Amino acid sequence: MKPEIHPEVRPVIFQDTVTGAQFRIISAAKTHETVTLEGTEYPLFKVDVSSASHPFYTGTQRILDTAGRVEKFGTKYGNKTGSITSLLKKKPATP
């Protein structure tokens, strides 16, 4: 292997921001934060989803506000395009 072209690999603590679970993994991820774990200081990398909070692994489901998103989209773009049914009912122009 060529010297000085590979990133530095070191132990890094990945912390789930939802549950607070911490995992020590060897990684090349860049971070400026540090945390002390078992008397040793490690770089800290925060993640939004891990196996501690993902619905597939935990068996729980988080409910998203999809109805609110649809209404927000309709109010933002509804006046420009009209309703979907009115678009589908329009006849193509005849030459």
Domain map (residue ranges) of the chain: 1-61
Structure confidence at residue 6 (pLDDT): 87
Q: 45 forms bridges with which residues in the sheet?
A: 14
Chain segment 40-75, per-residue pLDDT in tens: 999 999 888 887 777 666 667 665 555 677 777 777
pTM (predicted TM-score): 0.56
Among residues 35, 53, 54, 51, which one has the least CA distance to residue 43?
35
- Max avg pLDDT among 4-8, 40-44, 79-83: 40-44
How many beta carbons lie within 10 A of that of residue 76, not counting itself?
Answer: 9
